[in-house]
């Protein structure tokens, strides 16, 4: 990870403050003018959602827009991703801005004229497809920021790199994708970003509010799979085999003691969840095997490894005690999302100026995960939360991200655009 620019650079950059104030005002006026267009983009993308690694229409919409604006555009990065570069009229740092594009296998249950009617196949099953996590707004906001930046290109003291990322929610089974694949395919190659900014809309805050946290902000998210193998027998004669259903039940209970009895929770929180169990097809047949799937969430890499060890030990020993076996597989698609503390502190005045100091909130850590984490491992990163619940409504009672009833107040989009613009210009011009 590269350090943020030196004090000497800061002293030199302060000389540009009057010009920076002028361009800030112009960008705000452009954001006001672009608001209807940003909302129109969001509605179009919302009505035509696409699953991870399949964002073909969305990518084409973005690429056409950026090419018309004069960006250097590279398409097909990590399947459908886009990397675009805008070189400003003055020398300065490279700032990366990231938005994710994919939707979820969720059937929408919101009464909107632009509600999704799209159907697709996911995991071998037909399902509705919905932007239930707000990625449609992320794309629209970054498209709006891209247009505003292009209008003041000659006054930008640096280079802007836009990252439109597929498959943040994870690629289809058996495929590679997301931020890790974008980096593997050169998304952060020349020009190399000095910092990276991202944001996420959510119902946990009201429109007009911004949430932030320095340091570990979102958890790592591991995919756990345990296959318990026993011996098939008739349900009336369980002694004639080894019942993997009973063994799996004991393993589920045993796993719960890892967090409740073996982890120092006041020091570091953690979660071990089994979300699915599949075994057997008939009431009177004990099957050969049971498959369990779940997730592990932590904020600490050492604790993450320790919990993995305890899961393997618990599952394997419980199975062995009954004469069965347990095969444990743990994949690590999401690392901890860490906001660079120095960068977060430096940009906090920007957030307060854009949203108003009373609307900027220090948030608790969240057990949700984001593969923005991989970008933030390559350059100092800042990942923020933009409120999507209408002002005056209790955000705590609104449907959360990933719900079929998830909906956002579109007035939040302009704040997202302005946040991206001011973070970019302030970092370039006043460090």
Q: How far apart are CA 32 and CA 424, in angstroms?
A: 18
Name residues whose C-beta falls within 8 Å of residue 397's C-beta, 6 or more positions apart in sequence.
Answer: none
Q: How far apart are CA 298 and CA 222, in angstroms?
A: 9
Q: Which of 47, 72, 151, 410 is catalytic?
A: 410
List beta partners, residue 84.
73, 162
Residue 327 falls in the annotated catalytic set: no
Q: Which of 141, 147, 158 is nearest to 20 (CA)?
A: 158
Q: Which of 365, 249, 362, 384 is nearest to 297 (CA)?
A: 365
Coil, helix or strand at residue 354: helix
Residue 427 falls in the annotated catalytic set: no
Residue 360 structure tokens: 């900027």
Q: Is the N-terminal amide bond of 26 cis, ω within 30° of 0?
A: no
- Decide: residue 225, CB within 10 A, 0-12 exposed, 13-18 middle, 19+ buried: middle
Name residues whose C-beta falls within 8 Å of residue 338's C-beta, 6 or more positions apart in sequence.
Answer: 215, 216, 217, 373, 376, 377, 381
Residue 47 structure tokens: 């009505």
Q: Which of 194, 334, 370, 427 is catalytic?
A: 334
CA distances 96 to 23, 28, 146, 163, 379, Å, are 19, 20, 12, 7, 9
Active site residues: 334, 410
């Amino acid at each position: 990870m590269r350090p943020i620019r030196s004090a000497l650079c800061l002293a030199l950059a302060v000389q540009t403050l009057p010009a920076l104030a002028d361009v800030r005002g112009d960008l705000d006026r452009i954001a006001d003018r672009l608001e209807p267009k940003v909302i129109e983009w969001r509605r179009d993308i919302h009505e035509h959602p696409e699953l991870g690694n399949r964002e073909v229409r969305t990518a084409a919409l973005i690429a056409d827009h950026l090419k018309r604006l004069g960006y250097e555009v590279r398409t097909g990065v990590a399947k459908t991703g886009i990397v675009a570069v805008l070189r400003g009229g003055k020398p300065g740092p490279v700032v990366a801005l990231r938005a994710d594009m994919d939707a979820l296998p969720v059937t929408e249950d919101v009464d909107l004229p632009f509600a999704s009617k799209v159907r697709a196949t996911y995991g071998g099953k037909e399902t509705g497809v919905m932007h239930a996590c707000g990625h449609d707004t992320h794309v629209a906001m970054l498209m709006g920021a891209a247009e505003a930046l292009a209008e003041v290109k000659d006054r930008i003291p640096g280079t802007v790199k836009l990252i439109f990322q597929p498959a943040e929610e994870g690629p289809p089974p058996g495929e590679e994708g997301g931020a890790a694949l974008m980096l593997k395919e050169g998304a952060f190659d020349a020009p190399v970003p000095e910092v990276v900014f991202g944001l996420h809309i959510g119902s946990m805050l009201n429109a007009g509010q911004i949430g932030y946290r320095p340091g570990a902000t979102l958890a790592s998210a591991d995919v756990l799979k345990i296959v318990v193998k026993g011996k098939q027998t008739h349900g009336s004669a369980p002694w004639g085999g080894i019942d993997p259903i009973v063994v799996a039940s004991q393993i589920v209970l045993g796993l719960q003691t890892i967090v409740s009895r073996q982890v120092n929770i006041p020091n570091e929180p953690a979660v071990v969840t089994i979300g699915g169990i599949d075994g057997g097809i008939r009431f009177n047949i004990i099957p050969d095997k049971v498959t369990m799937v779940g997730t592990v969430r932590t904020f600490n890499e050492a604790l993450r490894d320790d919990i993995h060890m305890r899961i393997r030990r618990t599952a394997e020993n419980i199975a062995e005690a009954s004469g069965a076996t347990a095969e444990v597989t743990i994949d690590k698609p999401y690392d901890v999302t860490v906001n660079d503390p120095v960068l977060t502190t430096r940009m906090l005045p920007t957030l307060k100026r854009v949203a108003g100091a009373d609307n900027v909130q220090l948030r608790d850590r969240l057990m949700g995960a984001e593969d923005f984490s991989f970008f933030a491992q390559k350059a100092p990163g800042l990942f923020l939360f933009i409120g999507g619940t209408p002002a005056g409504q209790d955000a705590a009672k609104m449907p959360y991200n990933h719900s079929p009833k998830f909906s956002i107040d579109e007035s939040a989009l302009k704040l997202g655009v302005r946040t991206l613009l001011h973070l970019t210009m302030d970092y370039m011009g006043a460090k």
